[in-house]
Structure 1
Amino acid sequence: MDDLLDPEVMRGVIRSLSVRADGSAVPGSTQRHCKKTLVNAVGYAFGGGGAGDDLIPEIRWQVPTDDEEVDPRVLVNPGQARSLLDALSYVGLYGRARGRRLVGFFAGMYYAGLRPEEAVAVKYQDCVLPAHGWGRFVLHETRPQAGKRYTDSGRNHDERGLKSRRRGAVRVVPLPPQLVTIWRQSVDTFGTAADGRMFFTERGRVLGSSGYCTTLRDARILALPPDLVESPLVARAYDLRHSALSTWLNAGVDPTEVAERAGNTVETLLRTYAKCLYGRQTVANDRIDKFLGDYE
């Protein structure tokens, strides 16, 4: 611990938290999280006061602040999303149903704005899926993938509550008719896992990120023209959630309602999707023109 009092040593620690093993930069949000964890750990090691609390703030550590904004190039429109979901049905052998099993999983991210760890944990008993109209899903559990070395259970996925919410918190997620239909078809075709999970592997296990990311990559090749396959368009599963929230905002849904459905704060929502509000600049220009015209 005495070594951490040496500014050069601490600078080395900070630099190691700012880059990946391959030398590329770590996202700003991850750097901020690492800094907070490091400050708390050092403060605890020094007894909660004195040098431990003051050591890190004295060292200049500039963390990027603009990387949270979503790149508009990753967003799919409704037509592209439907093509991608259709293409999933053709990924893998029909009997193994590698892609067909994941149609509802990816549809939950696009139509309901679920995070991957939330979509993995969807259970049939928590859903209302009517034959017609909107349904709803009560979200109270997530299954983030951390790896066996980092979970108390020794499994790849932790069983946790909602992100950045108190223990026991729930979120009611409205489900549009398109998603209700897809989820009903998924249950009719594949049933549910032993614990009620709607999306699972052929052996009933929890979906792993490597598996569904590979399936998404294969579906992109089938669904998109060659020029878009080489683009960042929906290159990650999380981009479907980004597309969902951007679509809701552009449809004119109140940001407070969008934030409530997505499990975000309004501040985070607007900061993240500020560049994805297509057409808003034109609307603003028209209003400014009208206001200035009134004085001419």
Structure 2
Amino acid sequence: MLTYEVNIWSIRQRAGRAKPYQLRWVVGPQEHSKSFRLKTQAEGRQLELMAALRAREPFDTITGLPDSELRALNSPTWYAHARDYVEMKWPTVSAKHRASIAESLATVTPTLVKDERGAPTTHTLRTALYAWAFRLVKDEDDKWQRRIDLEEPPEHIARALDWITRKSLQVTDLDTPVVLRSALRALSLKMDGTPAAPNTVNRKIPVLSNALRYAVELDRLTTNPLTKIDWTAPEVDDEIDFRYVPGPRLARQIIDAAAEQGPRSRHLRAFFGCLYYAAARPAEAASLLHANCTLPDEGWGEIILAKSTARIGSAWTDTGESYDSRGLKRRARNATRSVPIPPAFVQMLREHIEEFGIAPDGRLFRAARGGHILTKEYGEIWTAARALALPEPQLRTPLAETAYSARKAGISLWIASGVAPAEVARRAGHSIAVLHRFYNMILNDHQDEDNARIGHALTEADETP
């Protein structure tokens, strides 16, 4: 039990003892003592206890130790805590988030060690942590278990995990700024020592912060030590450079050029059209069902985006398949998003269905040999189509560099056409705040027109009797 009832007595000397100088103190009803060979040692310990008392630390009645020392004594290692954190998070997060957690912890954990004597290679240790220590698998009863508890790792992996088990610092050591800074520095660098991309750093930092918050939750730390560090994550310029977003004509040319890459690519024309005309994310378009399409003979149609399917790897999914199907990004699992589509895209989808049919599960878009569309597959086709559509000077720029550019082009077209920002955000699956952060430049381009509309309305109001 912890108490503030502490009384520290003076040091007494006992002749004829190997350790003649005895320090005694009382915590609650319990008396404690410790003997020292030298008086200066006893005095030093006395000062430590008095400092804890002045800092208003409670003392433990059983051990007689201040709370901070008791925490350090009982603190697990960072490596053990990181494994506990993974086990806690795993069942409730997406496959992509699981992989990100494992990657972030595998980056920071090797730096939080007592020393590096006998350390395995960086690659071996990262692999051991990422693929074994921070990964769960299902047992025969379909329950999540730590992989290293169910499978026998290769010898070099086992040695690496044994080393980190012995060398890992305690969780309480992270309350020391110099230790925590080493972890932050690791998150800021690639394996080769060069600076990591700002987006990568900003993706990994929350994992470290959340793991530290979990330590507070488990009473392994009193506060999140990150709040004590004067450190700022690298700034990310989210605003899109519209010099490199394709306009309507170029976007259509690249989409049409995709169909000219042979049998391996023709089926992707409508897929790219979905990214442009409906501003769907690639993972959303890959999940589009025929049942969620309204495709009239004439006029505008509608598609309903309901899922997002991304290839993560079988190691991270619930099903053991390489694809993870989730709800829409930053939406409730069963949320949907309806997007009106223009007649040109309605016709494109009708032609696609007539030529390629639909998948057994109702999906419109499949890979050339069936199955889910691969990022590598549509990325290569987009690059080839871009090379056909762009002149040589523009090929050397980031103009329409990736297939995702088609989505940016579609959203930009809506804004330029005068669609209200709230409606653009709804169709694109953004919040208003995110829309303004990414598309602020093109939104600001409409300020003169908006000001003119407001001025016209004010003039009419003044002239109305």
Q: TM class, shorter-chain normalised?
A: 0.7 to 0.9
146-155 or 69-78: which moved more?
A: 146-155
Q: Rg larger in 1 or in 2?
A: 2
What displacement does 1:137 show? 1.2
- Could you tell me which residue of structure 2 aligns to residue 293 of structure 1? none
C-alpha distance in 1 between matches for 2:444 and 2:175: 50
Name the SS for the 2:338 alignment partner: strand
- Matching residue's letter, 2:201: Q
Percent identity of paired positions between Structure 1 and Structure 2: 37
Kindly provide the CA deviation profile for residues 205-224 of structure 1, in whole angstroms up to 9, marking residues without a partner as x. 10111111111111111111
- Could you tell me which residue of structure 1 aligns to residue 388 of structure 2? 222
Kindly provide the CA deviation profile for residues 46-71 of structure 1, in whole angstroms up to 9, marking residues without a partner as x. 43557364211222332244421112
Correspondence for 1:209 among 366, 375, 388: 375
- Could you tell me which residue of structure 1 aligns to residue 197 of structure 2? 26
- Could you tell me which residue of structure 1 aligns to residue 229 of structure 2? 59
What displacement does 1:271 show? 1.2
Q: Is the 8 A contact 1:42 1:52 kept in 2?
A: no
How many matched pairs?
285
- Could you tell me which residue of structure 1 aligns to residue 181 of structure 2? 11
- Matching residue's letter, 1:244: G
Kindly provide the CA deviation profile for residues 269-295 of structure 1, in whole angstroms up to 9, marking residues without a partner as x. 0111112348436658989xx9xxxxx
C-alpha distance in 2 between matches for 1:99 and 1:116: 16
Name the SS for the 2:339 alignment partner: strand
Work out whether 1:78 is the aligned partner of 2:244.
Answer: no
Correspondence for 1:160 among 326, 331, 336: 326
- Could you tell me which residue of structure 2 aligns to residue 148 of structure 1? 314
- 1:122-137 paired onto structure 2 within 5 Å: 122-137=288-303
C-alpha distance in 1 between matches for 2:317 and 2:252: 36
- Could you tell me which residue of structure 2 aligns to residue 280 of structure 1? 446
- Could you tell me which residue of structure 1 aligns to residue 5 of structure 2? none
C-alpha distance in 1 between matches for 2:451 and 2:362: 51
Work out whether 1:186 is the aligned partner of 2:352.
Answer: yes
C-alpha distance in 1 between matches for 2:307 and 2:443: 30
Cα 1:253–1:122, aligned 2, differ >3 Å: closer, same or farther?
same
Name the SS for the 1:196 alignment partner: coil
Length-normalised TM-score, structure 2: 0.57
Q: Is the 8 A contact 2:216 2:224 kept in 1?
A: no
Length-normalised TM-score, structure 1: 0.87
**CA-based RMSD:** 2.5
- Could you tell me which residue of structure 2 aligns to residue 39 of structure 1? 209
- Could you tell me which residue of structure 2 aligns to residue 121 of structure 1? 287
C-alpha distance in 1 between matches for 2:364 and 2:219: 49
Correspondence for 1:171 among 331, 337, 353: 337
Q: Is the 8 A contact 1:85 1:106 kept in 2?
A: yes
- Could you tell me which residue of structure 2 aligns to residue 257 of structure 1? 423
C-alpha distance in 1 between matches for 2:209 and 2:282: 29
Cα 1:144–1:254, aligned 2, differ >3 Å: closer, same or farther?
same
- Matching residue's letter, 1:174: P
Higher relative contact order, structure no. (Cα contacts within 8 Å, ≥ 6 residues apart):
1
Correspondence for 2:277 among 87, 111, 133: 111
- Matching residue's letter, 1:126: N
C-alpha distance in 1 between matches for 2:416 and 2:325: 34
Q: Is the 8 A contact 2:198 2:235 kept in 1?
A: no
Kindly provide the CA deviation profile for residues 231-278 of structure 1, in whole angstroms up to 9, marking residues without a partner as x. 101111111111111111111110000000011111110111112348
Q: Is the 8 A contact 2:304 2:336 kept in 1?
A: yes
Cα 1:141–1:52, aligned 2, differ >3 Å: closer, same or farther?
farther
Q: Is the 8 A contact 2:313 2:323 kept in 1?
A: yes
Q: Is the 8 A contact 1:39 1:53 kept in 2?
A: no
Kindly provide the CA deviation profile for residues 151-170 of structure 1, in whole angstroms up to 9, marking residues without a partner as x. 22222220100111112111
Cα 1:20–1:185, aligned 2, differ >3 Å: closer, same or farther?
farther
C-alpha distance in 2 between matches for 1:47 and 1:53: 9
What displacement does 1:172 show? 1.0
Q: Is the 8 A contact 2:259 2:266 kept in 1?
A: yes
Q: Is the 8 A contact 2:436 2:443 kept in 1?
A: no
C-alpha distance in 1 between matches for 2:293 and 2:282: 17
Correspondence for 1:199 among 335, 352, 365: 365
Q: Is the 8 A contact 1:74 1:233 kept in 2?
A: yes
- Matching residue's letter, 2:412: S
- Could you tell me which residue of structure 1 aligns to residue 149 of structure 2? none
What displacement does 1:86 show? 1.3
C-alpha distance in 2 between matches for 1:143 and 1:8: 42
